[in-house]
Homo-oligomer: A and B are copies of this chain.
Amino acid sequence: VDATVDLLTDVGYHRLTIESIAARAGVGKATVYRWWPTKARLVIESLSHRIEVTPVKTTGELRADVRALVDAAIELFTESPLGAAMPEMASDLDADPEAREQLLSFLGPARAGNLSLLYRAAGRTDLPHDVDADLLLDLICGTVLYRRLLGRRSSSAIADQLTEMIVGRHLPRTSEGVGPTA
């Protein structure tokens, strides 16, 4: 069932009809409804079977780790269908809090991993507080997704700049070489 679902995700979330999902899966419409009350839930669950959202592996160096996070976000939101589907689900998520929860618990593990990565970085250098890391992840994802929304591609040059913006502040004071980039 889920296999076919993702294939259908390729036509976009709005264009995706439950009828066509059922047809493609060789399944009665009622069966789909039996298990997923909502298109949003079905899509989220299907994506969570298809896409691995894994935390980035730490290198021990902050700049490299942040760059990895940025790259992962770009990958996730511009290469996978998730980037296209997530914004379109907006209103469905507003209307159906359980669906939102499901989405969050799908993204959760990777986020937790990345959070702890940042916390460890904080221990080493100077990333201090709780909300900080949370917000920082939102910032990375948000920036990438927003650009996608407006049709702006996030090239690797953009990734460089974004990384520097984030990391610049926290680098050892000495090398002011960050300047030209940020």
Contact = CB atoms under 8 A, between A and B. Distances in A.
A147 interface: yes
Contact of A179 (B86, B126, B136, B150): B126
Interface stretch (A18-26, A50-58, A137-145): A137-145
Interface residues of A, number: 52
A7 interface: no
Contact of A142 (B145, B157, B173): B145
Contacts of A112: none
Nearest to A167: B169
A15 B14 CA distance: 12
A135 B143 contact: yes
Given A90-B84, A91-B12, A138 B161 contact: no
A3 interface: no
A132 interface: yes
A177 interface: no
Contact of A138 (B126, B143, B170): B143
11 contacts: A84-B94, A87-B88, A93-B149, A126-B179, A132-B165, A135-B158, A138-B143, A138-B150, A142-B145, A145-B146, A145-B149
